[in-house]
Structure 1
Amino acid sequence: MECRGLSAGYVKQRPCVREVDLALTAGEITCLLGPNGAGKTTLLMALSGLVPRDAGEVLVGGNGIGSGRPRETVRAGMVLVPDDRALFRQLTTRQNLQLAIADRARRRSGVEQILEYFPALEKRLGVAAGRLSGGEQQMLAIGRALLQRPKVLLIDELSMGLAPVIVTEILAVLRTLTTEEQLSVLLVEQHVHLALGVADRAAILVHGHIADQDTALAFRDDPERVERAYLGG
């Protein structure tokens, strides 16, 4: 995935993110860091088509995607896991997963595939999504996104409200999936050290602009570089 000169916001011509250039590579996780209010969620919403773009272009596999067209974005292979997970809380875990599979003949095998990645969901298939723990809900949200066979996976605030041990478990699965399925993952995460520990690359968004980007290793080796970007140094 690549975006060039992307500007977007919730009021026309008053962008929250401005002239963002960002490229994702297959088989890699890129973490998007930045302080609260930097525009990270807005950027993901614009990439996924849920917020129209004021300027710029978004490409998946070299093909452009129209502005404000979430269905077209999903068909192109880019899927968003939002920070609120957007589950159907009254439906069961199984039903939430099945809704992501258009081909009825593939529903059973699709659910079984997700259980291989997240075995904790197996005993919760008949439970309403609203009754799952926070960790189980996040597993379900990611599993549902994976069933749409994405090339690019956008995940907003993966660790929000979750115990560290659950976050570590989910990140390990995500790392495996990214490598085995050659996904491109853009991960928004507030916990800097956690994100840099699993990512291949990192970009820091401050006041709607990309303040710095490099390999995750480069940021891990120079923690003050992250601080300078956050503080506008």
Structure 2
Amino acid sequence: MTAALECHGLDAGYARSSPCVRGLDLAVERGEVVALIGPNGAGKTTLLTTLAGLLPRLGGTVVVGGTELGSGSTRAAVRAGLVLVPDDRSLFRRLTTVQNLRLATRRHGHTEAIEQVLEYFPALRNRLKVDAGQLSGGEQQMLAIGRALLQRPKVLLIDELSMGLAPVVVESILPVLREVAASDGTAIVLVEQHVRLALEVADRGIVLVHGEIRLEDSAAALASDVGRIERTYLGESVAAG
């Protein structure tokens, strides 16, 4: 069976002479949630922005649902079914919540799916007429993910979901991703600093250090032995996450 997302020999970064990500091989299956973790500067964001076509590849291939993507083409990535929720959320801050959602539905013709988004994130129901810039951080993240879901992604990439959010808010959002993966077969790659919370909803965990995969195992196995992650982080403790 063809994986939802495949990378082969992927080099990514800003200078061919010194890539941030080197020779990365990765496969994510339909309905699988992968937690991508690692210290700051490991190349996690660079990897996601390259997969999404925001940054041209320095080498290697990216395949989504059997379709090989051209380098540096966000249009090709979206057409193939790959959608990125960036760490800045990229909302239209002067548009209301419902206007942000309708922009996605008009483009993709799934107006009825707004109701599904509101079922996933009921906190948005009473905020539909509020400008996105006036939402709380958690509400903005819910809106950003909801807008991405309206595009019916085959692969959903989420960068730093918890940035600026309290752990209790993160705990309310992460189970939605598990549900989306199970119900829609969406493959999800999640970059998350709250390691424990990410591993609770993930199927698999990958530790990226200095642009290379240094550790990969089932989420359950990694969660049961945080020391492995600590050692892979080269001594930086992540137990508090």
Match of 1:224 among 227, 230, 233: 227
- Per-residue deviation, 1:11: 2.9
1:62 aligns with 2:66: yes
The answer as to 2:127 corresponding to 1:111 is no
SS in 1 for 2:18: coil
**Identity of paired residues, percent?**
63
Structure 1 moving runs of 4+ over 6 Å: none
Residue ranges of structure 2 left out of the alignment (5+ in a row)? 237-241
Contact 2:97-2:130 within 8 A present in 1 as well = yes
Task: State the superposition RMSD in angstroms.
Answer: 1.5
State the alpha-carbon separation in 2 of the partners of residues 183 and 158 from structure 1. 17
CA deviations 1:163-183 (Å, max 9, x no partner) are 222111101111111111111
- 1:215 is aligned to 218
C-alpha distance in structure 2 between counterparts of 1:164 and 1:216, whole Å: 19
Aligned position for 1:158: 161
Does structure 2 retain, via aligned residues, the 8 Å contact 1:13–1:54?
Answer: no
Deviations 1:118-173 (A, max 9, x none): 11111111110000000000000000000011000000011111122211110111
Instruction: Give the distance between the partners of 2:220 and 2:113, measured in 1 at CA.
Output: 35
CA distance in 2, matches of 1:201, 1:43: 17
Residue of structure 1 in register with 2:132 after alignment: 129
Secondary structure class of the residue paired with 2:88:
coil
Once the two structures are superposed, residues 16-73 of structure 1 have per-residue CA deviations (whole angstroms, 9 ceiling, x without a partner) of 1111111111111100010001010000000100010010100111221111000110
Structure 1: segments with no counterpart, 5+ residues? none
8 Å CA contact 1:60, 1:78 repeated in 2: yes
1:101 to 98, 105, 128: 105
Residue in 2 aligned with 1:25?
Answer: 29
Equivalence map 1:125-204=2 (5 Å): 125-204=128-207
Q: Distance in 2 between matches of 1:229 and 1:163?
A: 26
TM-score (norm 1): 0.95
Distance 2:109 2:51 in 1: 31
The secondary structure found in structure 1 opposite 2:178 is helix
